[in-house]
Structure 1
Amino acid sequence: MRDLTLLVIIGWCFLQAFRRPWVGIMCWTWLSIMNPHQLSWSLRTMPFAAAIGGATLIGLFITQDKRDYSLNRENTTLILFMVWMCITLPFSMLFAESFELWKRVMKIDLMILVAAVLLHSKRHMMLLTWILVISIGFYGVKGGAFTLATGGNYRVWGPDDTYVNGNNEIALAIVMVIPLMRFLQMQLQARWAKTAMTVCMMLMAAAALGSHSRGALLAIGAMALVLWWRGKNKFGMAIGMLVVGAALLSLMPAEWWERMNTIKTYQEDASALGRINAWWMAWNLAKANFFGGGFMIWTGSIFAIYAPDPLDPHASHSIYFMVLGEQGFIGLFLFLTLFGFVWGSAGQLRTRAANKPETQWISDLGGMLQVSLVGYAVGGAFLSLAYWDLPYNLMVLAVVGRRWLSRKAWLTERPEPVIVLPNFLQHWLKSMKRRAS
């Protein structure tokens, strides 16, 4: 029954993508972020995302849906980043392995660009946000309930064969989605809906802690600090955060506390030392190779050349050193520039649309996008999620939101047109007025 239901939903989305390609974008995002087919019994290997993506691209060119091909700083930088990855590909140290991941990254980035072309309305932005929240919230809420039921003695893991299958990866995804849940809560009117969203956010936080991810703990702390700093009632917010934090932390077992304490004593932790070794390897490799090493360089043969400890090969566990090692210093510059622009655009939404009833919702969105980006910047420093879809979907929301706000300002702030009549008509109207009086 589960497989049949999934087939019906995806089949409907496939047909709709030809007529309304923005529907294809929503379905693509759902499949890429949530990977619902991984929860089925017999559909795990089906190329659903490829089918939906192909139908969306066809619909992009054969339908009359509104499209915006204008270039902005975000999509221009993303295009340059994609071009640079194409340039570095032939110089990959492990070309066969690198080529496979390169194809996957190009597909993701292409669909992100298509999303920025097709999406344009408040409805689109709200739907995309709901899809991101539901896709990760499904695992987060379930993981939070599991954490509470087991007292945090077992780790929360993500779905198999996905970008977020590990405990650290799903933790970062959960952390990044919590601010989007808060944004949606701010738009809800019904009291029960607001309460339900509060419960979901608390379960998401519990799941992030239940993953036993140290990076997630730091990311939650950084996001909480930003929310507190921007809040109006700082004292009340501080008390509320302390109460909720103390309640969740009190559930964590001794094993969890021991693992978190290694943040302060990282010199004695083998996992932390392995990451530092990988970071030095990426730095040394990038210095010696202008084009970087290409994708999938985290192997023993490459560590033997560039790592301080050649006998301890380790995944990058950092979005920054991952891009540095794989794409070189230019690739890292483009990556940081891209998300710097996204931060700036989200900030423009937050400030320009504030305190206006018709645009307050997009100000809320901009503020929560920035909080989510803080979680990605801090948590991503310890995780290999540089090419995953979710951060780039935040870029889409920021870009589409800024376009929407610009159109709104033009419609509401442009002056009334002044009509200048010819002289003979002006004299005729004056004479008509005198006769009437």
Structure 2
Amino acid sequence: MRSVFLLGVFIVIVCAGASTPFVFGMGYIWVDLFSPSKVSYSILTEIPIALVMAAGCIGTYLVMDRKSPPKFNIITFLLILFALWITFTTFRAALPGHAWIKWDFAFKAVTFSIFLPYLFRTRVQLEAMLLAIVVSLSGTFMTFGVKTLMTGGGYSMNLGLLSGNSGLAEGSTLAMVVACSIPFQIYLMRHSLIFPKHWIVKLGFLGFQACSLLTILGTHARTGLISLGVLAMVYWWLAANKIRNALIVLVAAAAALSVADDSWLDRMSTVTEYNTETSALGRIVVWKWTWDYVQDNPLGGGFGVYRLSRYTQTIINEDGEEELYEVAGKAFHSAYFEVLGEHGYLGLALYLLIILLAVLSLRKTKKKTRDVPELTWARDLSTAVMTAILVHMAGSSFIGVAFQPFIYYYVAIAISLDQYVRRVYEPQKAGRGSRKSQLKNSRKAV
């Protein structure tokens, strides 16, 4: 039954996308995040659905939807440069067999983010992109959240639809990505044009947010706790009534702690015990190895170079005695050390610069739309995307997700939003009724 339902969704997307290219873009995001070929038991497992969606995006755009394309900008240029650079480092990779496997999906993640602003250009289209992200994730966090409520969750437990230990099947990654999606859920609840203003719609989004929080806690991932903490801090900082919001956060935290089981509390308590907890210590050890490696290899070692890592560190065992702890072939467990080790100083500089410029673009958009009531939604969307980026940057400090698609979606939204506001917002000019023009363009561009 699941396979038939997912096949039906696939057919609907293909049929709708044939006349509306951005629907194919939504379909690509669905394939990227929901992974229907892994969730389905049959049928879709035999269809190259990612290829179909990508070909549909490009083909239908070229044939029928090339009006008002985004202008070439510095972020797009850096994304192209970054894609070329990771290709160059792959050609000279220390482990080419492993490198080209990862290059395949990493290159797609970077380059497709360049194309997304061509598909999502209006307010409704941007909202559709957010819905594609949230709904695709909901298949996992709704299932995970409900099961957490029933069982209490647990570390390394696959309570979602996906199995394995990579992507959204990995607890730390899932917790961080779901935390990043909460600002989008709140934005959609407040500003959706696709859904009517109705209490049932609001209740549905509140249910999404509740299951998101349950999923983050249910993974027992310390990355999730850090991501949630950063999210709470950002919302507190942005709040007009900081005292009230601080009290809400404290009450929510107390409620969560009151129902948390001992295993969750025990795992969270190891956050600062880096010299006794082997998982945290392993991260520090491989980070040291990475730093030493790039001193001799400033261009990086290509994808998968962490497999060469060898390092020893002193650890305090359960008896309080010192012993040597050896790490061999441990993954980077940090997006920043991942890029540094695989693509060197230039790769890391490009990666960070892309994110920085996206944030600056969003801040500029927020400032530009602050006093334009018709663009309140754009101001709030820029805040939501900035929040998601900040949460991602904090969480990805401890997991290797530099080439997962999430951050590139946020960058693409930043580009699209900037281009939209540039297109519909006209600065006041001498002798012209700019206010009237703003209203006219804003309505036309929806």
TM-score (norm 2): 0.87
> Partners of 2:372 and 2:58 in 1: how far apart?
37
> Partners of 1:178 and 1:208 in 2: how far apart?
11
Closer/same/farther in 2, CA of residues 61 and 151 from structure 1, 3 Å limit? closer
Matched, 1:139 2:140: yes
Matched, 1:322 2:322: no
Contact persistence 1:29–1:131 (CA under 8 A): yes
Contact persistence 2:95–2:304 (CA under 8 A): yes
> Partners of 2:199 and 2:428 in 1: how far apart?
35
Residues 139-170 of structure 1: CA distance to partner in whole angstroms, max 9, x if unpaired?
12222222121134565545236522211111
Which residue matches 2:321? none
Contact persistence 2:155–2:221 (CA under 8 A): no
Q: Secondary structure at the match of 2:81?
A: helix
Q: CA deviation at 1:64?
A: 4.1
> Partners of 2:429 and 2:30 in 1: how far apart?
39
Residues 168-199 of structure 1: CA distance to partner in whole angstroms, max 9, x if unpaired?
11111111111111111222532332233223
Matched length: 414
Stretch of structure 1 that moved more, 220-229 or 306-315: 306-315
> Partners of 1:64 and 1:133 in 2: how far apart?
25
Which residue matches 1:160? 163
Which residue matches 1:265? 273
Q: CA deviation at 1:353?
A: 1.4
Q: Secondary structure at the match of 1:268?
A: coil
Q: Partner amino acid for 1:243? A: V
Which residue matches 2:182? 178
Q: CA deviation at 1:311?
A: 4.2
Matched, 1:207 2:208: no
Which residue matches 2:309? 303
Q: Secondary structure at the match of 1:13?
A: helix
> Partners of 2:153 and 2:170 in 1: how far apart?
16
> Partners of 2:65 and 2:265 in 1: how far apart?
57
> Partners of 1:68 and 1:185 in 2: how far apart?
29
> Partners of 1:260 and 1:25 in 2: how far apart?
38
Which residue matches 1:92? 93
Q: Partner amino acid for 2:267? A: R
> Partners of 2:187 and 2:239 in 1: how far apart?
14
Q: Partner amino acid for 1:116? A: P
Which residue matches 2:368? 352
Matched, 1:407 2:423: yes
Q: Partner amino acid for 1:258? A: D
> Partners of 1:168 and 1:154 in 2: how far apart?
9
Which residue matches 1:222? 230
Closer/same/farther in 2, CA of residues 67 and 18 from structure 1, 3 Å limit? farther
Which residue matches 1:34? 34
Q: CA deviation at 1:221?
A: 0.7
Closer/same/farther in 2, CA of residues 101 and 395 from structure 1, 3 Å limit? same
> Partners of 2:36 and 2:259 in 1: how far apart?
30
Q: CA deviation at 1:203?
A: 2.0
Contact persistence 2:134–2:185 (CA under 8 A): yes
Closer/same/farther in 2, CA of residues 197 and 339 from structure 1, 3 Å limit? same
Q: CA deviation at 1:354?
A: 2.4
Contact persistence 1:28–1:53 (CA under 8 A): yes
> Partners of 1:153 and 1:10 in 2: how far apart?
33
Contact persistence 1:137–1:177 (CA under 8 A): no
Contact persistence 1:274–1:313 (CA under 8 A): no
Closer/same/farther in 2, CA of residues 240 and 286 from structure 1, 3 Å limit? same
Contact persistence 1:18–1:58 (CA under 8 A): no
Which residue matches 1:294? 302
Residues 346-385 of structure 1: CA distance to partner in whole angstroms, max 9, x if unpaired?
2223222124321001111111111111110111000111
Contact persistence 1:155–1:210 (CA under 8 A): no
Q: Partner amino acid for 2:255? A: A
Contact persistence 2:282–2:327 (CA under 8 A): no
> Partners of 1:133 and 1:415 in 2: how far apart?
43
Matched, 1:337 2:337: no
Q: CA deviation at 1:66?
A: 2.1
> Partners of 1:16 and 1:352 in 2: how far apart?
35
Matched, 1:363 2:386: no
Larger Rg: 1
Residues 6-44 of structure 1: CA distance to partner in whole angstroms, max 9, x if unpaired?
223323433544543222111101110111232211133
From 241, 264, 276, the equivalent of 2:249 is 241
Which residue matches 1:7? 7
> Partners of 1:388 and 1:155 in 2: how far apart?
20
Closer/same/farther in 2, CA of residues 67 and 352 from structure 1, 3 Å limit? closer
Contact persistence 1:286–1:325 (CA under 8 A): yes
Stretch of structure 1 that moved more, 387-396 or 62-71: 62-71
Which residue matches 2:198? 190
Q: Secondary structure at the match of 2:45?
A: coil
> Partners of 1:34 and 1:414 in 2: how far apart?
47
Stretch of structure 1 that moved more, 256-265 or 103-112: 103-112
Contact persistence 2:14–2:24 (CA under 8 A): yes
> Partners of 2:53 and 2:375 in 1: how far apart?
33
Q: Which structure 2 segments of 5+ residues have no match? A: 314-324, 434-446
Q: CA deviation at 1:133?
A: 0.9
